[in-house]
Amino acid sequence: MASATVLTAQPVSLDRLRVSDSPEGITQAAEDENAPPPDIRPRWSDRILAQGPWDQTVTHDMLKGAPSLPMPVEISDAGSLTPFFNHLKRDGSYETASDATRQSQPAAEPYYNVPTLEFDKGVLYEDGRMDLCKMALGPPNISTLMDSLRSNTFVRHFLLGNNIIGPAGANAIVDFVRKYPDRIDTWYLAGNCIDGASFALLTDALVKSPAVTNIWLKRNPLSPESVDSLFRLITQTPNLRTLDLDQTELGDAGVAALFTRLADHVPPTPLSMRILYLSATGVSTVACEAISRYLESPHCPITSLYMSSNPIGDAGAKALAKGLQLNKSLQRLSLQSVGLTDEGATALISSLQGHPALETLDISQSYSTQDLNARFNHLSAECTISALCSLVTSSTPLSYLALGPQPFCTTTALPLMGAAQESKTIMYLSLKPLIPSRSTPKDNTRFASASKALRTHTLNNIRAHYDKPALTYDEWEADLKRWCVSDEVSVRKIDSVYRNRAAQKARRGEGVLRKWWADEERGVLEGMMQA
């Protein structure tokens, strides 16, 4: 995405990871004010307008959160992993070992050029990352991996996403952490079928680890029974900075219970946790009320809060607004596809005016909205634009504002363009009005012109922010923009060439991205949970 806002008639796919907002996408209607509105609308428009404003009906399934199944994989045979495991066992690092020259290849991480050593299955990076994402170790191979790491002092960041290791695998990790609590900084365990019971044992070990700073648990079925474990993890792990609970089936009740305990807790020393992911967990009004209580607490240390693809709706947004109005810590807030309409959005946005720390606000659309049974945000009214204008011109240090495709008409959206050009901090503004102005066709042209002017303005702000007068927009977008949305310190530790390659293939249409297990494959999951 780019900072310029545009009116586009080019087909836009929800399945793409990036959507171009360049001024070159301006419609013929913007070039010719008398041209009729285009007949073909973007796919974003088709889906968002087909949904319309969410009626705020929350079903039982929505309150449970999205299912936490990992993506389908086939468990690897032991032989394919042996060379990498042997290298680890010999205290191998990213530098080629004498006995591994024929089984590994020195390379460099794309874009960042971090030196790596890659095996058929397994990659080591100069910065201490061990990458086995999507290699599907399963219960048969996880114990061998953990045994091989006992004699390895190089690995500090453990990347094992989508490996379906199950409770048996969690127990193998528990044994390792108990014996070597000072070793691993980052545990990336997404998509591993770790349930509540095994997570409790894992928590017992992790709270005694001074080394751990980042724990990523996305797509594990923790369920509401993990509330006590999560509370202990957050309040007792001495240096925990990042916790990912996306799509862990905590449910509205589970999240509410966790945050009620956090809001009532008075820590003897400030908590270390700063970054929390709660997307697709079923967060709704009850949980939002509890989260709001914690946000307004003087003990709340959270700087980044991600809660997209939840049935929050207008009632939840209003509940959050009460806490946000008193909060002093948040720097990033992401609420993509939470079923907002103008009523809830206006309350939420208004509560953030004058916030002393907020830099990033994302109330756009999630690419996985429909996969996760979530609801698009549907914003169209002048009251929302008015609240946004006040926000970007207030003392809030807002630099990144994402609205994405929304059913505003260009006439309604125009004032935000002018307000953004008054801001000395805004570096990115994403807004795609889905409704061309029919009553005032000239506003289509005005909006396109304002988009170009805003891009120039935001580039000047970017250069001033980073003190780089020669920085181009493309250079900023290729790297620095990413860290407006995500914490660089935490997220760089989990960058994976395997996950990136899979995403690139999906974008190029070179392979089918399987999201769901076939009925005949369910036995694999059942066997893994019982291993």
Reported as a single tens digit per residue, the pLDDT across 382-437 is: 999 999 999 999 999 999 999 999 999 999 999 999 999 999 999 999 999 999 98
Q: How far apart are CA 358 and CA 526, in angstroms?
A: 44
Task: Provide the domain count of the chain.
Answer: 1
Residue with the bigger pLDDT between 277 and 514: it is: 277
Task: Tell me how far apart the terminal alpha carbons of the chain are, to the nearest angstrom.
Answer: 45
The reply to whether 437 falls in a domain is no
Strand-pair category, 129-131 with 123-125: antiparallel
Residue 25 CA to its chain's centroid (Å):
27
Structural domain of 513: 75-212+496-531
Say if 182 falls within a structural domain.
Answer: yes
Report the half-sphere exposure of 265 (CA within 13 A, side-chain side). Answer: 21
Residue 152: per-residue pLDDT: 97
CATH of the domain at 135: 3.80.10
| Neighbouring residues of 261: CB distance < 8 A, sequence distance ≥ 6 | 227, 231
Q: Which of 100-104, 173-177, 181-185 has the lowest mean pLDDT?
A: 100-104
Q: Is 70 exceeded by the pLDDT of residue 233?
A: yes
Helix (H) / strand (E) containing 171? helix 166-179
351 found inside a domain: no
> pLDDT per residue over 73-87, tens digit each?
889 999 999 999 999
Higher per-residue confidence, 39 vs 266:
266
Token pair 């545990």 in the structure block, residue: 187
- Continuous segment of H or E residues that includes residue 484: helix 482-485
3-state SS record for 401-423: EEEEEEEEEHHHHHHHHHHHCCC
**How far is the C-alpha of 117 from the C-alpha of 124, rounded, in Å?**
5
Query: What proportion of the chain, given as a percentage, has pLDDT over 90?
Result: 81
**Phi/psi of residue 428, nearest 5 degrees:** -150, 125
Residue 522: CB atoms within 10 Å:
11
The helix (run of H) or strand (run of E) holding residue 221 is none
Q: Is residue 299 part of a domain?
A: no
pLDDT of residue 73: 83
Task: Please indicate, yes or no, if residue 131 is contained in any of the structural domains.
Answer: yes
**Is residue 516 domain-resident?**
yes
Q: Rounded distance, CA 331 to CA 179, Å? A: 37
Whether residue 162 lies inside any domain: the answer is yes
Q: Which pLDDT does position 63 carry in this prediction? A: 99
Residue 241 lies in a domain: no
The pair phi, psi for residue 387, each rounded to 5°, is -65, -40
Average pLDDT on 471-479 reads 96
Alpha-carbon gap, residue 308 to 363, rounded angstroms = 9
Once rounded to an integer, what is the mean pLDDT over residues 475-487?
97
